[in-house]
Structure 1
Amino acid sequence: MPEWIHIIYRGVLFLILLFLMTKLLGKKQISQLSFFEYISGITIGSIAAEVIMGLDNNIWHGIIGVAIFAVIPFFVEILSLHNKKIRDVVEGKGTVLIKDGKLLEDNLKKEKYTTDEILQLLRGKDVFQVNEVEYAVLEADGKLSVLLKKDNRPLTRKDIDLPSINEKEPHTIIMDGEMIDDKLASAGKNRAWLKQELDKQNVTIENVFLGQVDSSGQLTLDLYDDKIQVPKPQEKPLLLANMKKCQADLELFALATDSEKAKRLYAANARKLQESMDVLSPHLKG
């Protein structure tokens, strides 16, 4: 039998063998390696390569051996895209490790994870108590996905019935001291506006490392000199402060006047201004 057929046979055999060994070692093998596991993986790969390609000094035999490890995974990937069963075998499935605040010991043993290792992964998610977790899944790539119980999740605007704020991605209009005109246009701004904003902060464009316009149209700057502190935009906080002052003045006028008609007018407009502030405050707080 020709030597190149031997190489193909050994390549396919060892590719399957290495795949099965990796599956046997579990997801931890691809997510986090100890020094011993790292050395073992290198050694296994080196031994397999030597067995496959160490037949003689024929360069083409080496090319065939390397091609096997490229072509077969490529076709397996194509098949897994169209077949879930193949995808589950090749890529693996998520494993539930915590449910309703309780560790599932059988699943931990199946994935060869110790309690200390799971606690370490949870701490990486800023979770320090298992009973705070509603659901935790060890994904196929070895990462841990965590869903906290509702009482332990961060408070959201929806939880306290505040109106939602839809934010768009920021536009980077200055990079490395250079203006990016197309991004400036995408943000709905022009050069005159940018010059005016830079003048307000007493900054020249050559000193700006990064400049971005947020979804509300405010310019934030990062200068080359990290020791220089760029003041935060104050237009919105100032507007909110002026609205509060006007609302307080209207309430004072309502208390001070003897005219019932004027009192009602002042009080009504104070309420309207307060309602406007309730809606706009989330957008205007700096």
Structure 2
Amino acid sequence: METILVTFGRTLTGFFVLLFLVRILGKKQLSQITFFTYITGIALGNIAGDMVVHRDVKLIDGVTGLTLWMLLTMLVEYISLKSAKARVLLDGEPTIIIRDGNILEKAMASHKLNMDDLSMLLRNKNVFSIKEVEYAILEPNGQLSVLKKLDNEAVTRKDLSILSVPRKYLPAELITDGKVVKKNLTELNLTKEWLQNQLRAQGIQSLEEIFYAELQSDGTIHIDKRDSKGN
């Protein structure tokens, strides 16, 4: 029983310390958009795991290791933010893989890419033929950015000379499970009274009638009512 309680305590400590540190590191770390942030995430997870599982690792040593790794990561990120040369050294830089529709074999070889790899990356961008591609750029995080040839680009409203109406709002949820999402109302500069008036205009008398309501870009509200049978 004592062993279980110790493991439970170490697990809780590791979990919340890791969560706290990752939150401090920010969204870039969470998204793992570069090789460095990817490796950092793995290292933090390994340190936390060792702290929980290995009893010979003191709890304070584990927390110290996590904190020090976070501080070093923040230092490296600060340096890369201030120095373009350091940023290239730490994060790498984009590499053109296809230029003017031609595959650059040397660029592929330098990044250990074969044609199967390239085809897979292109399919992830809904491109199933090299012939469609004008430029393809391998980003530092290993993703491929693709610029299609003009003949293969999707037609836009501008191409068809269709008049576009400016969006009034960014679509956002206003009600979930019968409760108003006050944070979204505040960000959209809308009031609860405005929302109630909009609902009454659609014949809604009570929030309890609504399971989900979403503000549309044109200012209208999409409403999904509760199932009267409770299913």
Q: Percent identity?
A: 31
CA distance in 2, matches of 1:31, 1:129: 32
Find the residue that maps to 2:137 and give its secondary structure.
Answer: strand
CA distance in 2, matches of 1:197, 1:145: 44
Q: 2:189 aligns with which of 178, 186, 189?
A: 186
CA separation of 1:178/1:115 partners in 2, compared to 1, >3 Å: closer, same or farther? Answer: same
1:126-275 to structure 2, matched below 5 A, reads: 126-167=126-167, 168-180=169-181, 183=185, 186-187=189-190, 189-199=194-204, 205-225=207-227
Find the residue that maps to 1:134 and give its secondary structure.
Answer: strand
CA separation of 1:224/1:148 partners in 2, compared to 1, >3 Å: closer, same or farther? Answer: farther
1:224 is displaced (CA, Å) by: 4.7
Deviation track 1:128-157 (CA, whole Å, cap 9, x = no partner) reads: 111111111111111111111111111111
Q: Which moved more, 1:177-186 or 1:203-212?
A: 177-186
RMSD: 3.8
Unaligned residue ranges in structure 2 (runs of 5+): 1-32, 51-55
CA separation of 1:61/1:213 partners in 2, compared to 1, >3 Å: closer, same or farther? Answer: closer
- The amino acid across from 2:176 in the alignment is M
CA distance in 2, matches of 1:59, 1:211: 47
Unaligned residue ranges in structure 1 (runs of 5+): 1-26, 33-40, 50-55, 229-286
Find the residue that maps to 2:185 and give its secondary structure.
Answer: helix
Deviation track 1:236-276 (CA, whole Å, cap 9, x = no partner) reads: xxxxxxxxxxxxxxxxxxxxxxxxxxxxxxxxxxxxxxxxx
1:210 is displaced (CA, Å) by: 1.7
CA distance in 2, matches of 1:65, 1:31: 17
1:94 is displaced (CA, Å) by: 0.6
CA distance in 1, matches of 2:131, 2:37: 24
Higher helix share: 1
CA separation of 1:88/1:204 partners in 2, compared to 1, >3 Å: closer, same or farther? Answer: same
CA separation of 1:144/1:196 partners in 2, compared to 1, >3 Å: closer, same or farther? Answer: same
Find the residue that maps to 2:127 and give its secondary structure.
Answer: coil
CA distance in 1, matches of 2:223, 2:89: 49
- The amino acid across from 2:105 in the alignment is E
CA separation of 1:95/1:136 partners in 2, compared to 1, >3 Å: closer, same or farther? Answer: same
CA distance in 2, matches of 1:169, 1:58: 49
Deviation track 1:1-27 (CA, whole Å, cap 9, x = no partner) reads: xxxxxxxxxxxxxxxxxxxxxxxxxx9
For these two proteins, the number of residue pairs brought into alignment is 180
CA distance in 2, matches of 1:71, 1:30: 14
CA distance in 2, matches of 1:190, 1:57: 55
